[in-house]
Amino acid sequence: MKIKNNLLLLTALISGGLFLNGCSSGEQSAQNQTKTTSLSSGSEEEEEEESEKKAETESAGAIDWKNNKGLGPVRSVSLGETVDQAMADAGAVIYKEKCTACHKADKRFIGPAPKGIFERRTPEWIMNMILNPEQMVKEDPIAKQLLIDYNLSPMANQNLTEDEARKVLEYFRTL
Amino acid sequence: MNINYRLLLLAFPLLAFFSSCSEYAATKSGPQALSGATDAASRTYVPPGSYDEFYLFTSGGFSGQVGVYGLPSGRLFRYIPVFSVDPEKAYGFAEETKPLLNTSHGFIPWDDAHHPKISQTDGIADGRWLFINGNNTPRIARIDLTTFETVETIEVPLSGGNHSSPYLTQGTEYVIAGTRFSVPIPQTDASSKDFADKFKGTLSFIKVDPKTGEMKIHFQVLMPGFDYDLSASGKGVSHGWTFFTSYNTEQQGTLKEIEASQNDKDYVVAINWQKAAELVDGGAGEDMPVTYYHNLMDESTQTAKSEVIKTVKVLDPSKHKGFVYFLPTPKSPHGMDVDPSGEYIVAGGKLSADLAVHSFSKMLKAIENKAIETEVYGIPVLKYEEVLGGTVKQGGLGPLHTEFDDAGNGYTSYFISSEIVKWKVGTWEVLDRIPTYYSIGHLCVPGGDTRKPWGKYVIALNKITKDRYLPTGPELTQSAQLYDITGEKMKLLLDFPTIGEPHYAQAIPANILMDKSKKVYRLDENNHPHVTKSEDQAKVVRKGNEVHVYMTTIRSHFTPDNIEGVKVGDEVYFHVTNLEQDWDVPHGFAVLGAQNSELLIMPGVTRTLKWEPKFVGNFPMYCTDFCSALHQEMQGYVRVSPAGSNTPIKYWTGVDNAPL
């Protein structure tokens, strides 16, 4: 079962590259076609300290993210003007138990760090990536590229509820 | 509709296949090739990605397991270890599961599992639990049908050859367990030459908690030293009674083949268990000193615990009258089955050609009218003619077991003539017969032992396979066969091999079970004493010569994945928690030189493997269950230093975290 899924995933990934180059999958990828194969960090400035961020901006970061809400149950998220601290605290607890095995808050690990994520991803994209990673890594252009950038290490679906994912999102605002 | 269309598509190439291969088939295949094969293929074809219509639970017989199959395809989904250890699932090897195999005789890693029984509500299969008996070291197990895992075992004291078990009452009030081989009660240093004086049988009534399913022995009925072979509880009109077949009423302890086949009639035992329970609750019965184990998996701590129980209530029917009767029944009756209405009690006289059917209402009348032939060991024997409801005459040879459809028909297996015979309940007329390949034992109609059969199929559970499959040396595959019973004539649809002897089986519509199937264990409900809920809690702790490793798994690394400070002579306990919370993502754990098994850890579960390194070295450990594209990277090391050395305990995952 799992082996088959992984093979499927690999096939999807390999053909995904071609796919991105060769055809457009609706609105989102229309703008993405040009740079998907680029691995150069090109225009980035601060070399040293930004190295983790760089890893992510190399390729996935080159894809337009501001209009990408990802694929999944979350269509729109409204963030309050200030951080809801109680919600963020609850999110920190969930994050620690369900996410830290692969995500360190401020440093690249198995997966990317959430620090500064609002400068790279929309809130909807973040929640959809938490709630619906299987479809995201198959179909969303950023998530697909991230999977490649992170050595095909899959984003685990930790079966958070939407409410829990929202709390984790609020926690990310404190980082 | 959709399926039928696809089946048509399938049928064409098959037709071509069969016509082109007919010559080969005639010369090389078994002598009993299936006619109408394309039709049968279409009836059993479940297209890839589609689901079967029924779950089938087969006992694994002397493999001690339960097989889970789909019908009509006959595809194997899973086997559930019950009475036998299973290194794949670490059942009986992981510390948490070991207590499930504890008995008064010690840890018993094997048994002979015979009769799976699906729990019932109001006489209808409800699919909450599956009960099954261990025959050799008498035990009953309960499997949770949301997890398909064994969660409870209870030893049955004062029993030997726990065969007439586990037969449920219609509301799963009781699980019933009877002894096939009588033994000295209490056990003493007695000779079997004194069989008739000293050997007795017990019929146990084990109460089932309606919410949790937990089993507790309520009482045992002390019986003469016969062999109590099979059992069935009343339903509908006969709810409140349980019936057992008996043989060896000759009470012989040797060469039973001859000695136990002397009497023309043995007995069906009828027990009014409601009355017995009232007697016991009113203070009747004797507390007998015994020792037996009750083992229960605690869902919260994910760890099984054993309890030793020292006494059992025994009720002697020669002292307390009016709840046990004998019904004379021809020729060493074996199968014991009650029709869906509860009126007819069918006894398969295995050394006979006829099938005796007792009538429950006639039996009540016979009791009321005191139609008593004699008394045996103080138990009244009712007059045969006064209880007999009918006879299925000359159905075949060696009738064993009967199940029912929802159209008033009985299906009886005939071992010696190797066939299934369909007959009409009430008229006893034989309607149809069909051969089985070969030597059928039990048979199964989905729900065929309950008030509500789903009479679509009958499954033959065969004892002999002989020429039906490619040979595999002296030992051949075990096998079952699927027959369509929706028409007037039964039709053979499929042979399918089984894991272990398919001694008996029960089937249930898939939709009753599939939505209740558990996907993950919730990490926040894991109260295992050695759980590690996040990676920052992972640690290695030394306690004398014990080293406890609190480890986590997630795709695709262990934390810690490097351990130092272990020494030769240590007992290392790996307490591994799978942090995944997604369906179908177990992780495995294996360490070089482990003398037990791997661990296979479901999402949200903690399991413990004991490891006793014998040599100095640095030994790999790794994930055994392919988990991601980086599965091969899910690996680490345990450094083992010489006994008495001073290597400190250290542990880490990742270069950044490695100690200096």
Q: What is the mean pLDDT of residues B318-340?
A: 96
Asked if B512 and B563 sit in the same domain, the reply is: no
A98 contacts in chain B (CB < 8 Å): 523, 579, 581
B533 contacts in chain A (CB < 8 Å): 97
* pLDDT score of A58 more than 60: no
Residue B202 Cα distances to A8, B144, B223, B229, B346, angstroms:
58, 27, 6, 12, 22
First-to-last C-alpha distance (Å) of chain B: 68
Determine, yes or no, domain membership for A6.
no
Q: What is the mean pLDDT of residues B54-67?
A: 97
Q: What is the mean pLDDT of residues A149-175?
A: 95
* CB contact set of B123 (below 8 Å; sequence gap of 6+): B170, B171, B235, B236, B239, B450, B451, B452
Asked if B172 and B81 sit in the same domain, the reply is: yes
Residue listed under structure tokens 């351990």: B563
The number of domains in chain A is 1
Other CB atoms within a 10 A radius of the CB of residue B14 amount to 15
Cross-chain CB nearest to A6 (options B579, B625, B628): B628
At B482 the pLDDT is: 98
* pLDDT score of A37 more than 90: no
Determine, yes or no, domain membership for A43.
no
d(CA B10, CA B8): 5
B561 contacts in chain A (CB < 8 Å): none
The number of domains in chain B is 2
φ, ψ at B85 (rounded to 5°): -65, 155
Asked if B548 and B500 sit in the same domain, the reply is: no
Determine, yes or no, domain membership for B454.
yes
CATH code, domain with A151: 1.10.760.10
Query: Distance from A111 to chain B by nearest Cα, in Å?
Result: 11
B146 neighbors B132 (Cβ within 8 angstroms) = no
Q: Give, as one character, the DSSP assignment of residue B236.
A: G
B483 neighbors B493 (Cβ within 8 angstroms) = yes
Cross-chain CB nearest to B630 (options A96, A98, A152): A152
Residue listed under structure tokens 């591994």: B576
A2 contacts in chain B (CB < 8 Å): 584-585, 625-627
B554 and A102 within 8 Å at the Cβ level: the answer is yes
Find the residue in B nearest to A131 (Cα): B582
Asked if B305 and B349 sit in the same domain, the reply is: yes
At A130 the pLDDT is: 97
Asked if B355 and B385 sit in the same domain, the reply is: yes
Q: Per CB distance under 8 Å, which residues of B are interface residues toward A?
A: 520, 523-524, 533-536, 552, 554-557, 559, 579-582, 584-585, 625-630, 654
Determine, yes or no, domain membership for A18.
no
Determine, yes or no, domain membership for A165.
yes
Determine, yes or no, domain membership for A63.
yes
Determine, yes or no, domain membership for A29.
no
Band of pLDDT at residue B331, cut at 50, 70 and 90: confident
At B630 the pLDDT is: 87
At B48 the pLDDT is: 96
Residue B631 Cα distances to A14, A154, B627, angstroms:
19, 11, 5
Q: B597-634 pLDDT, tens per residue?
A: 999 999 999 999 999 999 999 999 999 999 888 899 99
Range of the domain at B544: 530-657
CATH code, domain with B405: 2.130.10.10
Domain boundary among B482, B516, B550: B516
Q: B239-298 pLDDT, tens per residue?
A: 999 999 999 999 999 999 888 888 889 999 999 999 999 999 999 999 999 999 999 999
The Cα angle at residue B324 between residues B323 and B328, in degrees rounded to 5: 145
d(CA B145, CA B54): 14
At B17 the pLDDT is: 39
Find the residue in B nearest to A101 (Cα): B535
First-to-last C-alpha distance (Å) of chain A: 38
Asked if B542 and B458 sit in the same domain, the reply is: no
At B23 the pLDDT is: 38
Determine, yes or no, domain membership for A143.
yes
Q: Give, as one character, the DSSP assignment of residue B623.
A: -
Asked if B349 and B472 sit in the same domain, the reply is: yes
The percent of chain A in helix, strand and coil, each rounded to the nearest 5, is 50, 0, 50
Asked if B373 and B451 sit in the same domain, the reply is: yes
Q: B483-505 pLDDT, tens per residue?
A: 999 999 999 999 999 999 999 99
3-state secondary structure of A52: helix
Determine, yes or no, domain membership for B25.
no
CATH code, domain with B561: 2.60.40.420
Pick the closest to residue B119 from B208, B236, B240, B243 (CA basis). Answer: B208
Determine, yes or no, domain membership for A73.
yes
Asked if B645 and B539 sit in the same domain, the reply is: yes
Range of the domain at A91: 51-172
Band of pLDDT at residue A59, cut at 50, 70 and 90: low
Asked if B585 and B466 sit in the same domain, the reply is: no
Cross-chain CB nearest to A156 (options B552, B580, B629): B580
Q: A81-137 pLDDT, tens per residue?
A: 999 999 999 999 999 999 999 999 999 999 999 999 999 999 999 999 999 999 999
* pLDDT score of B347 more than 60: yes
Domain boundary among B490, B516, B542: B516
Determine, yes or no, domain membership for B135.
yes
Band of pLDDT at residue B34, cut at 50, 70 and 90: low
Cross-chain CB nearest to B555 (options A3, A96, A153): A153
* pLDDT score of A39 more than 60: no
At A64 the pLDDT is: 87
Element (H, E) at B571: strand B571-578
φ, ψ at B650 (rounded to 5°): -140, 150
Strand-pairing partners, residue B551, are B576
Query: Distance from A49 to chain B by nearest Cα, in Å?
Result: 16
Domain boundary among B459, B490, B516: B516
Q: What is the mean pLDDT of residues B110-134?
A: 98
d(CA B220, CA B198): 17
Determine, yes or no, domain membership for B32.
no
Band of pLDDT at residue B524, cut at 50, 70 and 90: very high
Asked if B65 and B186 sit in the same domain, the reply is: yes
Q: How far is CA B185 from the centre of its chain?
A: 27
At A61 the pLDDT is: 64
* pLDDT score of A20 more than 80: no
B536 and A100 within 8 Å at the Cβ level: the answer is yes
Average pLDDT, chain B: 93
Asked if B500 and B560 sit in the same domain, the reply is: no
Band of pLDDT at residue B33, cut at 50, 70 and 90: low
